[in-house]
Amino acid sequence: MSEAVLQESDDLIGHPAVRQIVTQLRALDSYGTYDTWPDFKVLDPMILTKERRREIPVVGDPDETTISRLKAYYNAIAAGIEREVELMAVPVVNLSHEGFGKGLILVGRLVVLNRTLRDVHRFGFDSLEKLVEDMEKQVAQAVALVNAHRDVAEM
């Protein structure tokens, strides 16, 4: 991958959504690779600039590192939902070996997020701002669903 996009001085590194995704990435790092890395370096592969996207083939199978980044993303969204609604949110990522599948988040029996996943080997965001914006949007929509159907969410 090309040189780092994020810097330690980026304003959004301290944003709660970013803190949560870094926490999830570190939690999924079973080999301790990220133990000595600063947060911006752990998060940097999630940002795919146009140059980085060009380096990734159009067709390909996702590697375990990319899948763990995808899972960390959904885990972070679920944690944000839990914080807002005070009910357990369960992320479910179901992928084929080719990188196609579904990303779901369930609260009780209520499906609060349902995304079709394609080309997971190219998973990432144009910028840190886009990552935060997307996470906040997903959490807000899920919280609105839980509030509208709290009886189902509490089942």
Q: What is the pLDDT of residues 106-151, one digit of tens each?
A: 999 999 999 999 988 888 898 889 999 999 999 999 999 999 999 9
Whose CA is closest to 85, among 42, 145, 43, 22? Answer: 145
Q: Residue 147: what pLDDT?
A: 94
| Assigned domain for 106 exists | yes
| Assigned domain for 4 exists | no
| Assigned domain for 110 exists | yes
Q: Are 42 and 26 in contact (CB under 8 A)?
A: yes
Q: Round to whole Å and give the CA distance between 30 and 25.
A: 10
Q: What is the pLDDT of residues 36-77, one digit of tens each?
A: 998 888 888 888 888 887 787 778 788 888 899 999 999 999
Q: Amino acid identity, residue 127? A: S
| Assigned domain for 5 exists | no
Instruction: List the domain range (segments joined by +) for residue 22.
Output: 11-153
Q: Residue 64: what pLDDT?
A: 85
Q: Round to whole Å and give the CA distance between 34 and 53.
A: 23
Q: Residue 155: what pLDDT?
A: 85
Q: Residue 97: what pLDDT?
A: 86
